[in-house]
Amino acid sequence: MANKRPIWSKSFINIFVSNLFIFVVFYALLTLLPIYVTDAMGGSESQAGLIITIFLLSAIFVRPFSGRLIDRFGKKKMLVASAAMFGVATFLYPITDQYIPLLLLRFFHGMWFSIVTTAAGAIAADSIPRERRGEGLGYFAMSMNVAVVAGPFLALTLLQFVSYLTIFLVLSGIMIIGLLCTISVKTIEHETIKKKSLTMEDLFERRVIPIALVGLFLAFSYASVISYISLYAKSLGLLDAAGFFFAVFAVAMLVSRPFTGRMFDTLGPNTVITPAFLLYAFGLLTLSFTDTSWMLLAAGGLIGLGYGSIVPSFQTLAIQAAPDSRSAHATATFFTLFDIGIATGSYVLGLIVHSLGYSNLYLFLSVFVAGILVFYQWVSKRQPKKQLQSQANY
């Protein structure tokens, strides 16, 4: 135990803080822009929704190419460049007061978001000691978990006191700090073969696809939480409690993360993933029967414990499935399919909820998540023995 190499190196702290600020800006804009479109621009709800969707579509489109770009130009260069362009895009919001230019800006912003988050994930994985990768990536995921609460809280709190222009400038200032952190990051660059032609191997890491497919279905189910929890709470007369749902969700993830990460590394992936799936399914089941504030918050805690443990575990499995030189491709492949799951789920589940209602939707999804667990177990059994042994040794 005394000889364990540290996770929280200077480089890891810098990439953690940088990723935190990028996601704070991301979630703040995710919350603010629909209000901005309908309030300041006089747009419709569908236009407000498209502002969010176009960002995700842009990220999904560019994500497969990000691994090739990172290989070609280097992780550090692409991290700094994409963080700088993400910051430039953030600075453009104050001068974008028309809908079509805003739509184009969101597409441009999404492109750089996909690249900077892919580079950050790959660098974080490389900076963590191999034998502590499950624990380390669990800590790294906390940067996104904190941002889920901090971003919307910052945006909605500032909106009560200052103008949209001021909020956009504050977010731009946050990105300057995030960019400065990326400059201080140290990376491990792997030698890669420079190829002129573009192949499927340049876009996807095939060894990651099985676990990424499981991640796609997981993200599909989670879209019901991020897209419809506020509307569900409003239909139950619990809108005030909905504001605390994601706070409880985040706290549950943060409290459990150090323990689940160590369990992953020392006892193996299934000791974390199987119980986490069951907690997540039970959280959705609790949502389906919710009629009081405390039940809504209890569901948030259960989903935070379950879903919050599964995602970093899957990301770790994805990175472990590929050679170190392909960590960027592994990250890109996993999150490409994950983003597709979120985007597809937001649309498809919106159609289903009109037929089933919110309560029955969450009941259905609790069973669906149990099915994903069965699918995961089937996928894990089909992995090569060598790969399974590698995972057990992390």
pLDDT digits (tens, 9 = 90+) for 48-80: 767 877 888 888 888 878 877 887 888 889 999
Cβ distance 122 to 75 under 8 Å? yes
292: DSSP letter = S
d(C-alpha 126, C-alpha 122), whole Å = 6
Q: Cα 65 vs. chain centroid, distance in angstroms?
A: 18
pTM over 0.75: no
The confidence band for 85, taking pLDDT boundaries of 50, 70 and 90, is very high
Distances (CA, A) of 199 to 72, 196, 203, 329, 364: 14, 10, 7, 13, 39
Residue 215 has a pLDDT of 92
Three-class DSSP category at 112: helix
Residue 388 has a pLDDT of 42
Residue 385 has a pLDDT of 46
More confident call, 68 vs 290: 290
Helix (H) or strand (E) holding 362: helix 358-381
Candidate ranges 71-80, 84-93, 152-161, 254-263; pick with highest mean pLDDT: 84-93
Cβ distance 309 to 276 under 8 Å? yes
d(C-alpha 352, C-alpha 355), whole Å = 5
Residue 392 has a pLDDT of 40
Residue 25 has a pLDDT of 94
Out of 168-182, 209-223, 317-331, least confident range:
317-331
Residue 356 has a pLDDT of 86
Residue 286 has a pLDDT of 96
Candidate ranges 19-23, 139-143, 264-268; pick with highest mean pLDDT: 19-23
